[in-house]
Amino acid sequence: MLIQEKFNYILEQIFYNNLKPLRSLDNIKQFNHIVDITNPVEWFPNARKLKRNFIMHVGPTNSGKTYNALQKLENCNKGYYAGPLRLLAREVFDKIRSKGIRCNLLTGEEVIPDIDDFGNISGITSGTVEMVSLNEEYDVIVLDEIQMISDEYRGWAWTNVVLGARAKEIHLCGELSSVPLIKKIVQLTGDNLEINEYNRLGKLEVCDTPIINLTDFRKGDCIVSFSKKKILDIKAFIEQKTNFKCGVIYGALPPETRAQEALKFNSGEYDLLIASDAVGMGLNLKIRRIIFTTMQKFDGKSRIQLSDSSVKQIGGRAGRFGFGKNSSDTSTGYITSIDGDVLEIVRDKIDSPIQYIPQACLWIPDFLWVKYFSMFSKETKLFNIYDRFEMDLKELKYKQKAKALEGGSNDSSLFFISSLDEVKQVSRFFNGNELKNGNFLIFDQFRLIKAPFFFSNNDPTRFKTKNDINYQLSLNADYTTTDFIKTIINREPKSIIDFKLLFNLYRKDSSISSSAASSLNYDSANSQYAESVETLKKLETLHKEIMLFLWMSYRYPKNFIDLESALKVKELVEDRITKELEELRSDKIRRNKFSFA
């Protein structure tokens, strides 16, 4: 182990020395003087001029904690609802407008301004957290799902609002687990804090026995799984073996499709819902009983066990609106599983004590990145800069730990820097063969670094064969992303029709290769079902590409043109996805290999 540590140290020093010539300033003190990450409260001087009032609304799922905050928003002159999902932002947008109150919608991919006859835009906006402007002044901001402040990839957006939003009132809605951390942060900012705790509106019970037979399912049940393939298999299996109709909700589905599936479930058109953890937030659902199939999920790297918080959030969706005629029946939600061992784990997690969030995630503000970039020569590649920044962080953390041991201040321990994995991946893609020889300005690279890209990671070993549908779709995504970036580099105008995105819109393969069917675990007799699953994947990928086009169009409107056509194509793809889900009902799966777990 000691030899391995020495070897790693030598490699780091070689890499460090190779980067030395790229930077004019090489001392960690100079780095910290230019990019001070030890006191993020001071990043937002305009917010520090205000005495802000934080009001926390905390409690379990189905406790009505967001209701009072939204009432404040609806009655203010200038306000913003900041949600974690485009779907949730749209839901609040529709809810506010249904009351006759004017409201804008603002997400990375969608902008709907509410403008009156005199050209005045509404002062109230519903949008995603990342779109909150820190340069505008607000009367009220409602920041939802505040516990996400600790998320290593997106938590920085919540932290930015807490530290930098210029608002008289900031309402924080979410789990009790966030309270101690917010108390400490508000002490640093010098603002006021009020905490309101809410109890669940109805009862929540964990059942004594698991689901044993298909006859045990009841209308209003939601079966939770964490694999898209498994979700589609469960849907097809139940619909073939019973008279139940099933809706599905999972992360890869467009938000519009998820909302449509939820509507059909709530209206009674669907009897059961098969869903992933995407059911945990962003949709109001009339779920009677949550049924877990497993306690494990794949997090992109490995299989992990669900956290206590996730189980509580998903399980708490049961009983949200209630079923039955009796009032006692309408307020109770039930949780169970299809496996006795899983049910015991669920019970333990539901009854577990609160795990408090220790730190908030940070991402360096743009003005500090500009200062940091200025330390490097003009020819330095963006991925080299991020690599060096990561090394500077390691050195700074080492010095902070040493200072803490000497009894120095350790306020910075409340925060951690967001994972650099995604930005490093994107910045390396920018330096790929297709792009590195073009005039790809670092300004554009920095602007695009947080775009909703999705890549193959240039790692074919992730896939079983090059015939794997996931491999092919990932390569296509790389090609599409490259075409989009070339459009920016060349400063040329293009509509959605000019890109090669629409080839698969109306094309449906008449056959599926045996290798693809095998990778989906179906034999030749089940090729129709496998073909439907493959087509669904293609359409979901196409929808992501269209959403990326829309994201680009709001930032490069002279290059990504004809927004109306793009929105029409988006609707066509969503319609096709809905039809594919319907067709799965009539397709046959390989029953002898089916299991719920």
**pLDDT for the residue numbered 405:** 65
| SS3 (DSSP) at 169 | strand
DSSP state of 506: S
pTM of this structure: 0.86
What is the dihedral sign for C-alpha 514, 515, 518, 520? negative
| SS3 (DSSP) at 565 | helix
**pLDDT for the residue numbered 3:** 43
Q: Go through 482-493 and write b for each residue having 16 or more CB atoms within 10 A of its CB, e for each that does not.
A: bbbbebbeeeee
352: β partners: none
Give the separation between CA 597 and CA 588, rounded to whole angstroms.
19
**pLDDT for the residue numbered 421:** 87
What residues contact residue 471 under an 8 Å CB cut-off, 6+ apart? 456, 460, 462, 463, 465
Domains of the chain: 40-197 (3.40.50.300), 204-351 (3.40.50.300), 451-508+524-596 (no CATH)
**pLDDT for the residue numbered 320:** 66
Give the separation between CA 505 and CA 579, rounded to whole angstroms.
12
**pLDDT for the residue numbered 526:** 60
**pLDDT for the residue numbered 395:** 82
Report mean pLDDT in 10-residue bins for the chain, 597 residues: 44 46 51 72 96 97 90 97 95 96 96 94 98 97 98 96 98 97 98 96 93 93 94 92 94 92 95 93 88 88 89 90 44 92 96 95 90 85 90 80 62 82 88 77 89 58 42 61 92 92 59 44 58 88 94 96 95 93 68 56
**pLDDT for the residue numbered 266:** 94
The alpha carbon of 507 is separated from its chain's Cα centroid by a whole number of angstroms, namely: 30
**pLDDT for the residue numbered 371:** 85
197: β partners: 58
